[in-house]
Every structure is written in structure tokens, then in C-alpha cells.
Chain A
Amino acid sequence: EDKVVQSPLSLVVHEGDTVTLNCSYEVTNFRSLLWYKQEKKAPTFLFMLTSSGIEKKSGRLSSILDKKELFSILNITATQTGDSAIYLCAVAAFFNAGNNRKLIWGLGTSLAVNP
């Protein structure tokens, strides 16, 4: 059965700290791995990773994928209170012969950044 596991489930840090969020997966027909940030409403897209070893960066956030070891990490440096959210990892996989994809979701990591 396909699964995506995120760790830790919950994290509390102080402003300025650096955090690393983990996502491991066991998914057949892997296509890509995506990171989303969810605050009070629906998730907002952060990164899509398809190739191993290539870091994607956006401001203080960065992410990398290891397709051999089947995991990805999301790093946030110099955290701010506005980074408080649930960070969701999802793996896109083919699910039928028609080239359609679906996302298999992790449970998320709840990050709280205290001032």
C-alpha cells in the first residue's frame, strides 16, 4: 500500500531557529513529490521535486529529494512567526493507464514558531 510518512508530527521552535521537516515515502509509480503549506484554509503550493539531489529554494525555504533513499526534507532557516502552519508532503503517482496522477498525502508536520 502506498504511503507517505512525515516527521515530526509537531514541532515548536523560537523565532530565528532553523527547522528541518522530513518526508519519507513508499509509492509505486512515483512521479513527483510536492510540499504544501496549510494555514487556516486550503494548502498553498511550495515546491515540486522530481529529480534527486537538486535543491529547490524560495527565500528562507529550501527542499531536496533523495529518490534512492525515498525521502525529502524541507528546511526553513531564520524562522518567523508567520511560518507557523502545517506543512504537508504529497507524492504524485500514476494511478491508471490513462496517465492520470493522484496525490498521496502525509499527515503533515505542525510547526509553531514562538516569538
Chain B
Amino acid sequence: GAVVSQHPSRVICKSGTSVKIECRSLDFQATTMFWYRQFPKQSLMLMATSNEGSKATYEQGVEKDKFLINHASLTLSTLTVTSAHPEDSSFYICSAAGLTQETQYFGPGTRLLVL
């Protein structure tokens, strides 16, 4: 299957700082990228969907100004958690899909801990 990488894999930061997470599709062009968060023992929660070159579509309840998504190229999307707070601590996972969007391939995830 296709390979998706995420960086960093783990980050610890102080409250009030911003954290950027990168998601890259390594061997295919990702027309669409998805950002999820997952709390312990819960299922994946879709945060937003981004198409290359256009604004992301956010799910209800997800603050656009807090979770900034940029999808500037067909292989890279970034999620920036601005002014992070301890309640933002979670496991953030990106996935990427090609033109037909039939299957999403997931990155390994980023574990964020805000102190």
C-alpha cells in the first residue's frame, strides 16, 4: 500500500505555544488529506478534510482558527495547533487519498502532550 509519513511522532510542549505537524504522502499524489484526532480508547474523530490548493473543510465543533490546516502541495499537508492547551493533548493522525479517494492510507500518528 501507499506510504504516508508524519512528523514529529511525539511532541511535548508548554501551554500557549503552537505546534506544527506535517503529513507527507511519499509515493503517491494525495489529492485529499484528512486529519483525525483520537482520545484513549475512543475511535477516530475526523477534524477536517483538505484538498490540495483549497481551504480545508472542518467538521462541526472543530475550531478553524485553532487548528490551521495547509495543503500546499499534492504530497504535503500541515496541521498547526495554535495556542495549545492541555485539553488539546491527543493522538493526531493524518490520512491521504488519491484521486479516486477509495482508500485512505494513514500516517503513523503524532502524540501531542501539552503541559
Q: Complex Cα distance A44/B1, Å?
A: 9
By secondary structure, the A interface counts as strand
Evaluate contact between B49 and A88: CB separation under 8 angstroms: no
Is A102 part of the contact surface with B, judged by Cβ < 8 Å? yes
Say whether A105 faces chain B, with CB atoms less than 8 Å apart. yes
A42 touches B109 (CB 8 A): yes
Interface size class of B (residues with CB under 8 A): 20 to 34
Least CB distance from B72 to A in Å reads: 19
Q: A88-B43, A88-B44, A108-B43 are in contact. Are A101 and B106 (CB under 8 A)?
A: no
B43 touches A48 (CB 8 A): no
Q: How many A residues have CB within 8 A of the partner chain? A: 22
Do B105 and A100 touch (CB < 8 A)?
no
- The digit string for A62-94, where 1 denotes a CB below 8 A from any CB of B, is 000000000000000000000000001000100
Q: Which residues of B contact A (CB under 8 A)?
A: 1, 6, 32, 34, 42-44, 46, 49, 51, 57, 93, 97, 101-109
Residues of A that sit less than 8 Å from B by CB: 31-32, 34, 36, 41-45, 48, 88, 92, 96, 99-103, 105-108
